[in-house]
Amino acid sequence: MNANIILLPGDGIGPEVVMETVCVLETLASRHGHHFHFEKRLIGGCAIDECGVALAEETLADCKKSDAVLLGAVGGPKWDNPSAAVRPEQGLLALRKGLGVYANLRPVKVHPCLVDASPLKAEKLVGVDLVVVRELTGGLYFGKPQGRSMVNGHERAVDTLEYQDFEIQRVIKTAFDLAKGRRKKVTSVDKANVLESSRLWRKIANEVHQDYPEVALEHMLVDTASMRLVTTPANFDVIVTENMFGDILTDEASVLAGSMGMLPSASLGAPGSPGLYEPIHGSAPDIAGKGVANPLGTILSAALMLRYSLHLDAEAAILEAAVSRSIDSGRVTADLGGSLSTRQAADEVIRNLE
């Protein structure tokens, strides 16, 4: 098949991990008779430096026309001034909103060889295989009003946690559809004992559940969920939750997998629209430019891209198996206890491709 893929390497370690992933994808494509056409564009801090905005309108338009978008990371100390008018993260939020990718899938699996890379006791990690479905285009990240003002001589800041029923419905549906092909359990995470938006969330989760009698639904408060993620993580199958809860819980969940550098993500919208694929780690400015970042989270994100946007299920499985074999061999980057560079770790995956 032919596919047009937009690359948004972004900032920090983003360019390093994305370019190595492209090498892996090119090898895979040529072996299986596919042609992937890659085009690189700017997002985040580098886009601010180059054109004054974190995501140019033409870049968003090109992404919308593509088959899929592969992104590295945005942000870094250079653009960290909290009072700056333009910030790198705005580019990422505008991209998610602009592409309409409302469901962010973050799978967490524990590879047996990486059990020791996690600070959790090995016995807690047995059988961990969960997916967090994070709502990505609503909630606290996008609610209006948002901003600062002076009230009676005091500085005031406001963010708004707002959801409409259809925004909740579609992401809960994604979670149930996913659970149908897995262990058939959905945990809907909210804060319904305090938040009105969570009470609507819970009501809609119950309604959508009616259409999926074969899938079990449990509700869990977000504070409880954050505890259960480290005490009994293997009990989760599919977790579905509000944007910011999902942001927080997935950093926590990455600890199960041994390194943040391992976790991929897929952001999906309406069927047929381009998906956005990115590792969940950030730009890691402390190691940027050193060539030591773990490329596996991005390579696994590319595998999700093959599966969900390009419908190349067999190739996705081959790529995931190659990553798994690389981990088996211990030929990995320093965050996983190895000593390979980013390039060498990606080469190892290429060597392990069938």
State how far the Cα of 237 lies from the Cα of 210, in Å rounded to an integer.
19
Active site residue 141: yes
State how far the Cα of 334 lies from the Cα of 98, in Å rounded to an integer.
36
Residues 211-250, interacting with Mg ion (CB under 5 A): 247
Residues 56-85, interacting with ligand IPM (CB under 6 A): 74-75
| Radius of gyration in angstroms for the set of CA atoms belonging to the chain, rounded to a whole number | 20
State how far the Cα of 329 lies from the Cα of 56, in Å rounded to an integer.
42
> How does DSSP classify residue 254?
H
Q: Does 13 bind ligand IPM (CB under 6 A)?
A: no
Residue 92 binding: pick among Mg ion, ligand IPM, none (C-beta 5-8 Å cut-off by kind): ligand IPM
Q: Does 135 bind ligand IPM (CB under 6 A)?
A: no
**Burial degree of 321 (CB within 10 A; 0-12, 13-18, 19+):** middle
Residue 89 binding: pick among ligand IPM, Mg ion, none (C-beta 5-8 Å cut-off by kind): ligand IPM
Q: Does 92 bind ligand IPM (CB under 6 A)?
A: yes
Question: Which listed residue (191, 277, 335, 347) is catalytic?
Answer: 191
The only residue of 247, 315, 335, 347 in contact with ligand IPM, by rule CB under 6 A? 247
Q: What are phi and psi of 332, to 5 degrees?
A: -140, 175
**What are the E-state strand segments in the chain?**
2-10, 35-40, 68-73, 103-109, 129-135, 143-151, 154-160, 185-190, 216-221, 238-241, 266-268, 275-277
Nearer to Mg ion, 118 or 250 (CB): 250
Smallest separation (angstroms) from ligand IPM to the CB of 92:
5
Active site residue 144: no
Smallest separation (angstroms) from Mg ion to the CB of 194:
22
Q: Does 89 bind ligand IPM (CB under 6 A)?
A: yes
State how far the Cα of 9 lies from the Cα of 275, in Å rounded to an integer.
16
Helix/strand/coil percentages in the chain, nearest 5: 45, 20, 35
Q: Which residues pair with 277 in a beta bridge?
A: 70, 266
Nearer to ligand IPM, 74 or 303 (CB): 74
Nearer to ligand IPM, 135 or 247 (CB): 247
Q: Does 94 bind ligand IPM (CB under 6 A)?
A: no
Question: Which listed residue (247, 277, 335, 347) is catalytic?
Answer: 247
Q: Does 280 bind ligand IPM (CB under 6 A)?
A: yes
Residues 6+ apart with CB under 8 A from 257: 108, 109, 110, 111, 114, 118, 263
Count residues binding Mg ion (CB under 5 A): 1
Interface residue list for ligand IPM (CB under 6 A): 74-75, 89, 92, 247, 280, 282
Interface residue list for Mg ion (CB under 5 A): 247
User: Which sequence positions are flagged as catalytic?
Assistant: 141, 191, 223, 247, 251
